Chains A and B, each alone.
Chain A
Amino acid sequence: MVSEKEIYALLEGVFDPEVPVLSIIDLGIVRSVRVENETALIVITPTYIGCPAMQTIEKDITIQLEANGIQDFEVSTSIAPAWTTDWMSEKGKKKLKAYGIAPPQDEADKSVLFADPLVVPCPKCDAQETKMISQFGSTACKAHYQCKKCQEPFDYFKCLR
């Protein structure tokens, strides 16, 4: 019988289609894995409600488990409690930066009106002088920034809390 630990290990090999360096474990969207009556029950959670990657992720999990000879499993989605970027692993944040996406900062960019914009260091040259181009980037979970020092435009994985 398959163990929860083995399932987790296999899920390390399923990647976010939008950010292909992050496994779904790194991203923290695997909420739980339980084995009950020889069936593995996997619960995942979306980063943003309308995240179009969820269906692909579900399919990728199916492909990964079946390829490894696991037949009895169910993948379901749960939205509560809501995902936050705190669920992303430290390893995941390092991988993001190496990939050129600024990882979420410790503070949510949550003040509604004209607070000082958050300092997001450039993932390429580490300069602190960067500017937000748009709060909405290439996917729902990212904002668009530019480094004032090296001029490199980059994505920032928004802090969501």
Chain B
Amino acid sequence: MTKQEALYQYLLRMGDDSLILGQRLSELCGHGPILEEDIATTNISLDLIGQATLLLEYAGSLAEEPKSNDELAFLRIEKEYTNTLLVEQPNGNFGDTMMRQFLFDAYRKPLLEHLLESTDNRLSGIAEKALKETKYHLRHSSEWVIRLGDGTEESHAKIQAALDALFRYADELFFENEVDAILLKEGIIPSAKVIFPFWKKTVTEVLEMATIDLPKNNWKFKGGREGRHSEHMGFLLAEMQYMQRTYPNMEW
């Protein structure tokens, strides 16, 4: 694998994480539990889709046959998406949505911080821009995890259940393969092993304040990074790709 192919794969991973989580959050438009959260989740969705635009645009320019970001976003088949299983999980209740977001933000923030040092200027530029927004996202999601966990009996039970259901997908955020090895050698990306302690620290601190416990069951699920997705992904793509599949090449 060449450096260019590796970077293409890596940008797809990051871009797909942003895109799919952005799509999930956009489902809350007009359905948020309260007006402020309706606006907050859709704002975050907008940021993530903006990040996906830049990441996929860059990826598309590196593809063997150059592709537009729209082509990459809307015209791939399921197994060509390499987002983690975590981000494609359904919104569930508000606790599920916030826990999914928190586990992701706690990983994305240190990743972007380390990408500021990337030897690839275009990638570090994207990271610099995205980091400013991601700090707000993490603050928002961690505050909700704490508020719900340290809240009423019912909110505590629900956010604990959300963690129990979602924690099994967190391990995959730190997936590494040949792609990482190539880019790491070039100083383009940090190792996932370097990011993990930052994630762990944030998660430990926030869960402690939230008075919720890590699940005892240690099952771990992965597959998304290699194109093997959960059942939910097909439904998500059907909705997301509908317009472009029905009216090929349409633009806003």
Contacts from A to B (Cβ < 8 Å): 46, 48-52, 79-82, 84, 109-114, 133-140, 144, 158, 160-161
Supposing A79-B54, A80-B121, A114-B143 touch, asked if A135 and B132 sit within 8 A by C-beta, the answer is no
From 125 to 140 in chain B, residues with beta carbon under 8 angstroms from any chain A beta carbon are: 125-126, 128-130, 132-133, 135-136, 138-140
User: How long is the Cα–Cα vector from A6 to B69 in the complex, in angstroms?
Assistant: 36
CB distance from A136 to the nearest CB of B (A): 4
User: How long is the Cα–Cα vector from A49 to B139 in the complex, in angstroms?
Assistant: 18
CB distance from B200 to the nearest CB of A (A): 15
Supposing A79-B125, A81-B128, A161-B132 touch, asked if A49 and B142 sit within 8 A by C-beta, the answer is no
Contacts from B to A (Cβ < 8 Å): 36-37, 39-40, 43-44, 46-51, 53-54, 109, 121, 124-126, 128-130, 132-133, 135-136, 138-140, 142-143, 146, 202, 205-206, 209
Report whether A79 and B129 are in contact in the complex, using a CB–CB cutoff of 8 Å.
yes
A49, A51, A110: most-surrounded residue (chain B CB, <10 A): A49
Residues from chain A with a CB closer than 8 A to the CB of B143 are 113-114
Report whether B40 and A49 are in contact in the complex, using a CB–CB cutoff of 8 Å.
no
9 cross-chain CB contacts under 8 A: A46-B129, A49-B130, A82-B125, A112-B142, A112-B202, A133-B36, A134-B39, A136-B36, A136-B136
Report whether A50 and B51 are in contact in the complex, using a CB–CB cutoff of 8 Å.
yes
Report whether B142 and A80 are in contact in the complex, using a CB–CB cutoff of 8 Å.
no
User: How long is the Cα–Cα vector from A5 to B48 in the complex, in angstroms?
Assistant: 37
Report whether B54 and A49 are in contact in the complex, using a CB–CB cutoff of 8 Å.
yes
With both beta carbons as reference points, the residue of chain A lying nearest to B131 in the complex is identified as A82
Report whether A110 and B126 are in contact in the complex, using a CB–CB cutoff of 8 Å.
no
Report whether A136 and B205 are in contact in the complex, using a CB–CB cutoff of 8 Å.
no
Report whether A82 and B132 are in contact in the complex, using a CB–CB cutoff of 8 Å.
yes
Kindly identify which residue among B46, B128, B132 contacts A50, using a CB–CB cutoff of 8 Å: B46
Report whether B139 and A113 are in contact in the complex, using a CB–CB cutoff of 8 Å.
yes
Residues from chain B with a CB closer than 8 A to the CB of A84 are 132
Residues from chain A with a CB closer than 8 A to the CB of B130 are 49
Report whether A82 and B129 are in contact in the complex, using a CB–CB cutoff of 8 Å.
yes
* In the A-B complex, the 6 residue pairs with the closest CB atoms: A50-B50, A80-B125, A49-B50, A136-B40, A134-B36, A50-B46
A110, A111, A113: most-surrounded residue (chain B CB, <10 A): A113
Kindly identify which residue among A50, A82, A135 contacts B40, using a CB–CB cutoff of 8 Å: A135
User: How long is the Cα–Cα vector from A140 to B129 in the complex, in angstroms?
Assistant: 13
User: How long is the Cα–Cα vector from A156 to B143 in the complex, in angstroms?
Assistant: 20
